[in-house]
Structure 1
Amino acid sequence: MLDLQWPWALLLLPLPFFFLWRARGKNASATHIYWRHSHFLAKAPQHHGRNRSGLPLILLMCAWLTMVLALSRPAWLGEATQIPPTGRDLLIALDLSGSMQISDMTLNDRTADRLSAAKEVLSQFIRERRGDRIGIIVFGSKAYLQAPLSYDLETINQLIQESQIGFAGEQTAIGDAIGLGIKRLQDKPADQKVLILMTDGANTAGRVSPLQAANYAAKQGVTVHTIGIGAEHMIRPGFFGPKVVNPSSDLDEPLLTNIAHLTGGQFFRARSTQELRQVYALLDQLEPIPSSDILQRPKTTLFHWLGALSLLFVAVALLATRRLDFSLGGRT
């Protein structure tokens, strides 16, 4: 669809005809104001016929038409596309410490380690967060920003899948992960700033106390939801036969609960892959995705094309006039 930003410019279209009407009946020198070679246009019909002599005038009319159209600032509007509105700034802090390799989860009816289960569930969660800016923090002995806040959910998802155990060290720096999340979320324009922290252990490393970081997050308006991942029962072979152990004995649930409480978030316990999916389904309800999309039409400006075409018409008109000048001069 064609759209004109300055449609009033089209009122200039009849201006040349007004000049020609005013010039009609006056001497030839008066018409030179508007076209210096008009005397050739007057003489040409006597020598070459009306068609050839009228070509420069036709070209000038086309140049005027395209110039006026360019002044009206035309643009071509494409088909409307849906753009999700701006939602939350949401950071996901993923534990990559050594204990995340414990195989006490299941995927497709097969035993899987905690990190693989987390990747699978996070992949689906991220794909459905249209309208949110999502970033990734990975932490172990230290915390690192793996991906800054971005609307490019495909790239964020790919970086999640490329995460490996041990990338950030073997221990668990929960306080540093929260501190880095606050730093990346502060001074952001989003109304809702959320950090989802998923871990399977206790704070065993780092320079920042988790509770101190949580208190500062509350002051900065950052909501921290915490997830404790890991089964509570696991059968392991022993010298006297199989025995049942608790692979999540190191998980500090009271700490994670306090962090969530101080920041206005919630603590979730995921003992299986299915429970982890339920946790992220609940997070979708707690932190709803923007519901209405924004319609946007791609706009292609035509001003420069019409301006160039107008100049081309003028150049061709000048060339045609020079050829007519030469032709009439050779016959007089």
Structure 2
Amino acid sequence: MFDFATPAAFLLLPLPLLAMRLLPGREAVTGALILPESIGRVLPKDAREGVSVRIRRTVPIILWLSLVLALAGPQRLAPVDALPVSGRDLVVALDLSGSMEQKDFTLDGDTVSRLEAVKAVGKRFVEGRGGDRVGLVLFAEKAYVAAPLTFDVAAVSRAIDEATIGISGRSTSIAGGLGVALKRLERGEARSRVVVLLSDGADTSGNVLPADVARLAKSLGVTVYTIALGPEDQEARPNDPDAVDTRTLRQVAEASGGRTFRVRSTNDLEQVTAAIDRLEQSGLDRPPATVRSDDWIWPALVAFACSLFLVVSRRAM
């Protein structure tokens, strides 16, 4: 489909004719050889008006037409498939406490740390959220926003890959991480707002109970899904400093209306992300969008070439 951005520019087309008719004429000062009419009639036509003269008369017309066409802004409109937009905001809150260094997960046959396993699966999870606005919060002793809410899921995936233990302390503040995530979501206008919180330890902040923050999340309309990482539970091994506080994470999820998932292996983690995908499906069909391709540069180049020709031909005369 072809269109013009400013079709009113075509009103300029008769401007040179109006200028010739309305402006006072200028007497040309030229040198000429006057011949008798009888001699002029027998001269060849090319001798009276050569090809170059006709070209010099035509080029200004082409120049003006090209300029007006460029000002009109020719453009092509082509339909393309619109990106799916789900209307969902999702923040991943990732625990970066010291216990995430524990190497008790298996990934592709190799023993890796909990953080490496979470990175591998978390990146795939985020990259599959096309159409969602996704953000990333990292927390340990303190929490901070590593990636603001964005449709650029590849950028969030890179932020997960670059996460490093120790940059925000080594203890665990689940309440702090959840609170920062809620801060990013509280003013959102998305029809669905979700926090996916991954932790492998117990809350050690002592300032605010995670369950209280979860109740705040529910009042804000935010659903929290928690993922408890690690082979051991505090309920079974209360004296193990690296055991995960499954009870607290379950309370957080239930208080907000979400679910909690228990993960003891990489395979469990992959199944959890698949389950969250089903619970919070991404993607919403949209009608095709129209993309505009501007073509004004081509008539502008023609006008420039004509101007250059007139300058060079005048100097050569």
Question: What TM-score range do you get, normalising by the shorter chain?
Answer: 0.7 to 0.9
Give the conservation status (yes or no) of the 8 Å contact 1:174–1:206: no
Q: C-alpha displacement at 1:267, in angstroms?
A: 1.2
Q: C-alpha displacement at 1:289, in angstroms?
A: 0.9
Task: Please tell me whether residue 94 in structure 1 is matched to residue 94 in structure 2.
Answer: yes
Q: C-alpha displacement at 1:191, in angstroms?
A: 2.1
Mapped partners of 1:227, 1:182: distance in 2: 17
Cα 1:74–1:190 change in 2 (3 A) is: same
State the SS of the aligned residue for 1:189: coil
Give the conservation status (yes or no) of the 8 Å contact 1:2–1:74: yes
Q: C-alpha displacement at 1:300, in angstroms?
A: 3.6
Mapped partners of 2:283, 2:112: distance in 1: 34
Task: Please tell me whether residue 151 in structure 1 is matched to residue 151 in structure 2.
Answer: yes
Moved more, 143-152 or 113-122: 143-152
Mapped partners of 2:268, 2:306: distance in 1: 72
Give the conservation status (yes or no) of the 8 Å contact 2:141–2:168: yes
Q: C-alpha displacement at 1:7, in angstroms?
A: 5.2
User: 1:65-76 to 2 correspondence within 5 Å?
Assistant: 65-76=65-76
State the SS of the aligned residue for 2:22: coil
Give the conservation status (yes or no) of the 8 Å contact 1:136–1:145: yes
Mapped partners of 1:204, 1:300: distance in 2: 56
Give the conservation status (yes or no) of the 8 Å contact 2:93–2:196: yes
Task: Please tell me whether residue 258 in structure 1 is matched to residue 247 in structure 2.
Answer: no
Q: C-alpha displacement at 1:170, in angstroms?
A: 2.0
State the SS of the aligned residue for 2:195: strand
User: 1:74-223 to 2 correspondence within 5 Å?
Assistant: 74-77=74-77, 80=80, 83-85=83-85, 87-205=87-205, 207-223=207-223
Q: C-alpha displacement at 1:62, in angstroms?
A: 0.9
State the SS of the aligned residue for 1:228: strand
Q: C-alpha displacement at 1:66, in angstroms?
A: 1.5
What residue is the counterpart of 1:33 in the other structure? 22
Mapped partners of 1:224, 1:38: distance in 2: 86
Moved more, 286-295 or 142-151: 286-295
One-letter amino acid of the structure 2 residue matched with residue 289 of structure 1: S
Mapped partners of 2:289, 2:2: distance in 1: 15
Q: C-alpha displacement at 1:281, in angstroms?
A: 0.3
Cα 1:163–1:71 change in 2 (3 A) is: closer
What residue is the counterpart of 1:224 in the other structure? 224
Give the conservation status (yes or no) of the 8 Å contact 1:176–1:207: no
What residue is the counterpart of 2:262 in the other structure? 269
Mapped partners of 1:199, 1:323: distance in 2: 79
Q: C-alpha displacement at 1:177, in angstroms?
A: 0.6
The Cα RMSD (Å) is: 3.9
One-letter amino acid of the structure 1 residue matched with residue 58 of structure 2: I
TM-score (ref. length: structure 2): 0.77
Cα 1:319–1:169 change in 2 (3 A) is: closer
Task: Please tell me whether residue 301 in structure 1 is matched to residue 294 in structure 2.
Answer: yes
Mapped partners of 1:2, 1:75: distance in 2: 6
Length, aligned pairs only? 302
Deviations 1:116-166 (A, max 9, x none): 211111121112111222221111111122222223323322221222333
What residue is the counterpart of 1:64 in the other structure? 64
Cα 1:10–1:200 change in 2 (3 A) is: same
Cα 1:107–1:52 change in 2 (3 A) is: closer
Deviations 1:99-119 (A, max 9, x none): 222233211223322212111
Mapped partners of 1:251, 1:191: distance in 2: 32
Cα 1:270–1:323 change in 2 (3 A) is: closer
State the SS of the aligned residue for 1:299: strand
One-letter amino acid of the structure 1 residue matched with residue 258 of structure 2: G
Mapped partners of 2:237, 2:221: distance in 1: 40
Task: Please tell me whether residue 282 in structure 1 is matched to residue 275 in structure 2.
Answer: yes
| Alignment gaps of 5+ in structure 2 | 34-39, 41-46
State the SS of the aligned residue for 1:224: strand
Cα 1:105–1:48 change in 2 (3 A) is: same
Deviations 1:51-84 (A, max 9, x none): 4444443123213321332343212457846534
What residue is the counterpart of 1:25 in the other structure? none
What residue is the counterpart of 1:27 in the other structure? none
TM-score (ref. length: structure 1): 0.74
Q: C-alpha displacement at 1:196, in angstroms?
A: 0.6
